[in-house]
Amino acid sequence: MTEPTLYPVPGPYAGKTLLDEQGYLEMYRRSLEDSEGFWREQAQRLDWIRPFTQVKDVSFARDDLHIRWFADGTLNVAANCLDRHLAEHGDDTAILWVGDEPGTSREISYRELHSEVCRFANGLKSLGVQRGDVVTIYMPMIPQAAVAMLACARIGAVHSVVFAGFSPEALAGRMDDGQSRVVITANAGRRGGRSVVLKENVDRAIALCKETTVETAVVVNYTDDAVNMQPGRDVDYGELLAAQDEDCPPEEMGAEDPLFILYTSGSTGKPKGVLHSGGGYLTYTSLTHEYVFDYRRGERFWCAADIGWITGHSYIIYGPLANGATTVMYEGVPNYPDVTRVARIVDEHQIDVLYIAPTAIRALMAEGDRPTEGADLSSLRLLGTVGEPINPEAWRWYHRNFGRGQCPIVDTWWQTETGGALLTPLPGATALKPGSATRPFFGIRPALVDNDGNILEGAAEGNLVLLDSWPGQMRTVFGDHQRFADTYFSTFRDMYFTGDGARRDADGYYWITGRVDDVLNVSGHRMGTAELESALVAHPAVAEAAVVGFPHDIKGQGIYVYVTLNSGVEPSEEMHRTLRDWLRSEIGPIATPDVIQWAPGLPKTRSGKIMRRILRKIAADEYDQLGDISTLADPSVVEQLIDNHTRLA
């Protein structure tokens, strides 16, 4: 039996969603034809302190690059996420926290969350934090992480959340770049039944900082793990909170004032501080959260991401809370204590919407039907995926096993830079094709261009660009506007270049084919090959290194490392382990290489440029498709590399 390639809107959905197909098409058309009118109206979903009069002020020209939305309006993001829900929905659950250990959970109402955010915001003020200051957050998935983010927003401080899986070195680099003088952390977190130390990493990171002096570390003493508190610098979260008043008027912020920085990897250099501002970002995340998930108040919405990534910012914290939703925050991993955990959480807490990464789906799928065996799952109304292309086989497994063949799946394509989903189905409006992120959201003008920047019409494949701005777009690279222009607006004139390739079919559906630059997507985590390579060559044994991705059944892409050792250093099992551990400690466990291959030489052009195309082909076992290698300075290295590669297998 062949599987269907088109899944129409399921019957029980018809007429029950915010929009049907016709509704989507009309609203989409309006959002382009009268873009200012459309966004003026949509921004009314927020409470503004001073209403804006200007809607949009944007130029994508690389010499005059600026992106401003609702610029003369003022608001407070935390007040929009909390205060305005109190009168009628104060007792609704804001955060449903599910702990790592089965059976542990906690519901926090909007009133309770508001109270703790206000007190912690006052606590930050008492420590001298002022509007505009960058506050680093290095936290496990506990409610205090949300409190920390919202408390910053309340007082106009700019948060910089660093994924708790990053190493002290990586944390220090981010604190340095942000000139951050305050960090919020926990003694340890819990994941998969183990405690993960965090405070020790913070201590080491503070010692490594070169550009900033961290004056204060606020520590949530969450687990029983002993922690070293340095007097004068380290402050206990509980003690700080206990000393504070609950009255904390929200700071009046300009719509374009920065809300947060989040570091992400690109094809060159150090990770970039992607900067998002308040008014546009909250308008966009709130709007997409409502329409993409067809969200209704009272439903339990589970985005199984980490707050260390943009998905967590936009769809665990800001979008859902702006909409008065119940957002699920899960501390642990999808397979602890066993592969039935996700389904058990859905049943136990009667989750309505489940939004997870394809890598998690593939890992569960590898267990056959066991992950959902015996589960009811009838509370689920909608499924979503994000972070990487989903292969049709995994899509169907998810649809059948979690969706019982009835729930639509929204495959949402977006980036740290875009703030929220740009290409996505809407559950009641879009017939689905497994593996396609389908069509653009309101106000989004995607296009495909060839390598010369010519716009391709109709069914085509090319580089994915965006021709116009939307309110959730990043505003700049923190501290380096030139890098913002160079990275995104110089490849193709007057267009935002995503770094992704895509295909558009005859129905106008988009299919993301993956990155066209030197960025890897490993288990939904984005990593620059340049970042990995510079970490490798910093090791004294390494002369040269080249990193490429290769197809990996579960991770999507695996990390394949070619290393040339310094003369006098012999390849060995031990050296292999040393370099593996080195990458883990320089960047974090997510940078653990899948393969390290010793390379006596790397394939280079006569001008010395490494030909990664060849390295990618070898890593993918496609040596018969190497293409033209005659431009190599020394074509014989290729033989050698293939030889070494086949011996690895």
Residues that bind ligand WT7 (CB under 6 A): 264, 309-311, 386-389, 411-416, 437, 498-500, 512, 515, 521, 526
- DSSP character string of 626-641: ----TTBS-THHHHHH
One-letter amino acid of 464: L
DSSP string for 478-507 = TT-HHHHHHHHSSSSTTSEEEEEEEEE-TT
387 is in an annotated binding site: yes
Q: Which is nearer to ligand WT7, 244 or 327 (CB)?
A: 327
Helix H or strand E encompassing 155: helix 143-155
273 is in an annotated binding site: no
Closest CA to 242 of 115, 141, 327: 115
Half-sphere exposure of 349 (CA within 13 A, CB side): 31
Measured from the CB of residue 627, what is the shortest distance to ligand WT7 in angstroms?
Answer: 24
Cβ 501 to ligand WT7, closest distance in Å?
9
User: 515 among the known binding-site residues?
Assistant: yes
Q: Provide the minimum distance between the beta carbon of 383 and ligand WT7 in the complex, in angstroms, as a whole number.
A: 13
Q: Are 183 and 604 in contact (CB under 8 A)?
A: no
- Kindly report the three-state secondary structure assignment for every residue of 432-451: ECCCCCECECCCCCEEEECC
Written as six digits, the tokens of 566 are: 């310094």
Residue 636 Cβ, how far from ligand WT7 at the closest point, in Å?
A: 35
* 628 annotated ligand binder: no
Q: SS3 for 170-204, per residue?
A: HHHHHHHHHCCCEEEEECEEEECCEEEECHHHHHH
Q: How far is the CB of 396 from ligand WT7 (least distance, A)?
A: 16
Residue whose CB is less far from ligand WT7, 335 or 391: 391
What does R_g of the chain's alpha carbons equal in angstroms? 24
| Residue 469 annotated as binding site | no
From CA 48, how far away is CA 45, in angstroms rounded?
A: 9
- Residue 108 or 519 having the CB closest to ligand WT7: 519
Q: Please, what is the minimum distance in Å from the beta carbon of residue 517 to ligand WT7?
A: 9
598 in a labelled binding site: no
Residue 542 annotated as binding site: yes
| Alpha-carbon distances of 280 from 31, 44, 245, 387, rounded to whole Å | 15, 11, 31, 22
* Smallest gap from residue 269 Cβ to ligand WT7 (A): 16
205 near 212, Cβ under 8 Å?
Answer: no
Shortest CB 433 distance to ligand WT7, Å: 13
Is residue 475 within 8 A of residue 256, CB to CB? The reply is yes
Nearest to 288 by CA among 377, 419, 158: 419
Select 254 or 524, whichever has its Cβ closest to ligand WT7.
524
Q: Which is nearer to ligand WT7, 147 or 310 (CB)?
A: 310
- Taking a C-beta distance cutoff of 8 angstroms, is the pair 217, 185 a contact? yes
415 is in an annotated binding site: yes
CB 412, min distance to ligand WT7, A: 5
Taking the CB of residue 192, how many other CB atoms lie within 10 A of it? 13
Q: Is 500 annotated as a binding residue?
A: yes
Asked if 319 and 285 touch (Cβ cutoff 8 Å), the reply is yes
Q: What is the 3-state secondary structure (H, E, C) of 264-331?
A: ECCCCCCCEEEEEEHHHHHHHHHHHHHHHCCCCCCCEEEECCCCCCHHHHHHHHHHHHHCCCEEEEEC
CA distance 505 to 526: 27
58 is in an annotated binding site: no
Answer yes or no: is 420 a known binding residue.
no
- Least distance to ligand WT7 from the beta carbon of 310, Å? 5
With beta carbons less than 8 A apart as the criterion, state whether 154 and 248 touch.
Answer: yes
Nearer CB in complex with ligand WT7: 372/412: 412
309 or 562: CB nearest ligand WT7: 309
- Let me know: does 153 contact 278? Beta carbons within 8 Å: yes
Amino acid letter, 600 = P
Could you tell me the smallest distance in angstroms from the CB atom of residue 386 to ligand WT7?
A: 5
414 vs 492, which CB is nearer to ligand WT7? 414
Cα–Cα distances in Å, from 645 out to 367, 579, 639?
Answer: 29, 18, 10
Report angle CA 54, 56, 59 to the nearest 5 degrees: 135
The annotation status of 526 as a binding-site residue, yes or no, is yes
- Please tell me whether 191 is known to bind a ligand: yes
CB of 502 to ligand WT7, least distance (A): 9
**Region of residue 419 (phi > 0: left; psi between -120 and 50: alpha; otherwise: beta):** left
Pairing relationship of beta strands 134-138 and 182-186 according to DSSP bridges: parallel
311 is in an annotated binding site: yes
Shortest separation between residue 27's beta carbon and ligand WT7, angstroms? 22
The reply, when asked if residue 412 is annotated as ligand binding, is yes
- Pairing label, strands 496-504, 476-477: unpaired
The nearer residue to ligand WT7, 216 or 385, going by C-beta atoms, is 385
* Assigned token pair, 320: 């859902």
> Is residue 129 annotated as involved in ligand binding?
no
Minimum CB distance to ligand WT7 smaller for 524 or for 603 = 524
Binding site per annotation, positions for Mg(2+): 537, 539, 542
Binding site per annotation, positions for CoA: 191-194, 311, 335, 523, 584
Binding site per annotation, positions for ATP: 387-389, 411-416, 500, 515, 526
Binding site per annotation, positions: 191-194, 311, 335, 387-389, 411-416, 500, 515, 523, 526, 537, 539, 542, 584
